[in-house]
């Protein structure tokens, strides 16, 4: 069975501070890893994904995540956050069958 654990349910930070949202996964087979973002009363939007190749993946709005197979982690980082980054962030994995298994989410709140 596969599982995803997001280690922090809430992360409050000040604007322009760095942030790290932690994600660990468990799987006995190879996985694809994703970070999704969800704004209030909205669906999920893909932020970034790791399929293969370089273990460091980046999004267009400054987030990055690093796939670490030995530590089974896929932490999300941003060096300087904005108020508009306030949202719920979900880490997810995909294995055979193409369905996603999600973590419980991390609420990122950026304060002025």
Partner 1 sequence: DTGVSQNPRHKITKRGQNVTFRCDPISEHNRLYWYRQTLGQGPEFLTYFQNEAQLEKSRLLSDRFSAERPKGSFSTLEIQRTEQGDSAMYLCASSSRTGETEAFFGQGTRLTVV
For the bound state, the minimum distance from the C-beta of residue 80 to partner 1, rounded and expressed in Å, comes to: 26
Strands 106-111 and 10-14: parallel
Site track for partner 1 across 24-63, x = CB under 8 A? --------x-x-x----xxxxxx--x-x------------
For the bound state, the minimum distance from the C-beta of residue 8 to partner 1, rounded and expressed in Å, comes to: 14
Between 32 and 72, CB nearer to partner 1: 32
What's phi and psi for 62, nearest 5 deg? 95, -5
Is 61 in a helix, a strand, or coil?
coil
* Member of 24, 72, 86, 101 binding partner 1 (CB under 8 A): 101
CA distance 48 to 20: 15
Of the candidates 93, 88, 92, which has an alpha carbon nearest to the alpha carbon of residue 105?
A: 88
Residue 103 makes contact with partner 1 by CB under 8 A: yes
């Amino acid at each position: 069975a596969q599982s995803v654990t997001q280690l922090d349910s809430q992360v409050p930070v000040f604007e322009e501070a760095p942030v790290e949202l932690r994600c660990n996964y468990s799987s006995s087979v190879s996985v694809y890893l994703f970070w999704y973002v969800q704004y209030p009363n909205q669906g999920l939007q893909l932020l970034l994904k790791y399929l293969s190749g370089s273990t460091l993946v980046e999004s267009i709005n400054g987030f990055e995540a690093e796939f670490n197979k030995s530590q089974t982690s896929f932490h999300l980082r941003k060096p300087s956050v904005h108020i508009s980054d306030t949202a719920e962030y979900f880490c997810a994995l995909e294995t055979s069958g193409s369905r996603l298994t999600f973590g419980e989410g991390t609420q990122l709140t950026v304060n002025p």
